Structure 1
């Protein structure tokens, strides 16, 4: 969102404005103010995200998402201090990213690995093992049909029509159980994932 061609030449140069002025202009849909905020804070935010996530690609995605959120909430956000607001928002974006990474690792850990040789334990492998146990416990907590649909979909990677044919139910029924299983699993794992994500973030 760069300078619009229709912007009057007499407009105040946003580069000379303080953060508070930029925030007020942003709330009035000023794209130049948004562009200036982006230019001022993209690099330090990206550097912070790289330190926490370890990958420049993940960091860039997180920071971009943060700025998308800033623009979408430009009229409703309560921003007292811009830098504090952005870095606080970045922290939660990073936690969400780590949480998603942990979930992917946990699903991968459920696949058989007969040729994998034992390695030295690290905090990361212990956290992954704990998460795998929590995931397994959460799956076992599901009711019969819901658990079966979840395992066929996420463990055996069968499609909705394949599961429907195997269980002799309608695709809509399969979709219901799959949606219910994911909703229940998110609720079951929420507290665990937040604790592990924060721990890994602080340890990095």
Structure 2
């Protein structure tokens, strides 16, 4: 009896199958499934190049056809199904692009935040090292350096303020810069060694 009903549905036109489908005929749905499933899958697979996604897309489309069978206004079954599968393919590709774009944005944002944080910390460390270096300078050299680099005084202005000749001011400034360069070089070497060790 089963084989007879299978042969019966196979002889139905698409219009007959749609009419039977609207009347909740599961046999009609099975025939639509057999008739169109592979063809729809072929279209989806050709576009997506992924078997699982193509199969899932077609399964969802046919499940939707069954669940909305009473309310769907379909004139031509084949046109409806192939249009619906193309529409779903487009939506799937859009959502995949959106997802990959969002993931890329998150990765870039995370790496940018990490880089900004690391740069900020490194700048703070360097600033702290510079201040510590200035504190370690001999008193006159420190005074001259602070007036020159922090208060932006000229050599003649510093000369008047600290009561030293301009030549002596230049000497202290040169000495301060040399000592700071050496101190910061040692700091950077130590920091780099520690960073390499922690890697």
Relative to the length of structure 1, the TM-score reads: 0.49
Q: What is the Cα deviation at residue 91 of structure 1?
A: 1.2
Give the distance between the partners of 1:42 and 1:61, measured in 2 at CA. 11
SS in 1 for 2:106: coil
Give the distance between the partners of 1:60 and 1:12, measured in 2 at CA. 26
- Cα 1:30–1:109 change in 2 (3 A) is same
Alignment correspondent of 2:12: 17
SS in 2 for 1:75: coil
Alignment of 1:1-80 (within 5 A): 13-80=8-75
Alignment of 1:1-204 (within 5 A): 13-112=8-107
Give the distance between the partners of 1:10 and 1:26, measured in 2 at CA. 15
Report which stretch shifted further, 15-24 or 99-108: 99-108
1:48-83 CA-to-partner distances (Å, cap 9, x unmatched) read 001111111110011011001111111111111110
1:98-137 CA-to-partner distances (Å, cap 9, x unmatched) read 1221121012111336xxxxxxxxxxxxxxxxxxxxxxxx
Q: Which runs of at least 4 in structure 1 moved beyond 2 Å after TM superposition?
A: 9-12
| Aligned CA-pair RMSD | 2.6
How many correspondences in the alignment? 110
Q: Name the structure where helix makes up a greater proportion of residues.
A: 2
- Cα 1:49–1:10 change in 2 (3 A) is closer
Give the distance between the partners of 1:45 and 1:109, measured in 2 at CA. 32
Give the distance between the partners of 1:10 and 1:55, measured in 2 at CA. 35
Return 5+ residue gaps in structure 1 as ranges.
Answer: 1-5, 114-204
RCO (CA 8 Å, sep 6+): is it higher in 1 or 2? 1
Give the distance between the partners of 1:62 and 1:11, measured in 2 at CA. 26
Return 5+ residue gaps in structure 2 as ranges.
Answer: 109-199
Give the distance between the partners of 2:47 and 2:5, measured in 1 at CA. 42
